[in-house]
Amino acid sequence: MSLTHLDEKDRPKMVDVSDKSLTERVATASGVIQMSKEAFQNVINEENKKGPVLQTAIISAIMATKQTSNLIPMCHPLNISGVNCDIDELKDDLSFKLWVTVKLKGVTGVEMEALTGVSIGLLTIYDMVKAIDKGMIISNIQLEEKRGGKSGDFKR
């Protein structure tokens, strides 16, 4: 196999998808942010009130999925059909796991949209908690599942 985003002169290109078929596509990605006990506790306590940190993360994740093609140079602009997010509170790991699922009826996959949503959502948590803990680590940003399209389904 070779890199699809380069032309014969090794110049970057946006791959031509005009011949691909219009199908329903779904991609789910996830990622984790780990923090100190004090930081984790603060977010959890807020969650018991109105949860503004996690809610802000979800809103920024949804909005970021719509910016994917402005951020990732070779990504095609897409009219996303729907986005769902969820957050797991992993108390034993002092972590939050953010899930983003993106749907599209279109000609290209939406992995990048789901992964971008996860990345920006986790950075939003980092931003809102960084006054307490600057050492937080974001990890395991990965594609969980992908359906639709010629290259076949993917399930981690």
Show which residues are catalytic: 127
Cα 55 to Cα 44, 69, 123: the distances in Å are 12, 24, 13
Interacting residues with a copy of itself between 49 and 88 (CB under 8 A): 49-53, 55-56, 58-60, 62-67, 69-87
Q: Which one of 94, 95, 115, 149 is in contact with a copy of itself (CB under 8 A)? A: 115
Mark residues 125-144: x for contact with a copy of itself by CB under 8 A, - for none: -xxxxxxx-xxxxxxxxxx-
Q: Is 21 in the site for a copy of itself (CB under 8 A)?
A: no
Give min distance, CB of 142 to a copy of itself, in A: 5
Residues sharing a CB contact under 8 Å with residue 16, sequence separation 6 or more, in sequence order:
none
Q: Is 16 in the site for a copy of itself (CB under 8 A)?
A: yes
Q: Is 156 in the site for a copy of itself (CB under 8 A)?
A: yes
Cα 133 to Cα 77, 86, 102: the distances in Å are 36, 23, 31
Cα 129 to Cα 29, 80, 132, 134: the distances in Å are 23, 30, 6, 8
Could you tell me how many residues of this chain bind a copy of itself (CB under 8 A)? 93
Give min distance, CB of 90 to a copy of itself, in A: 16
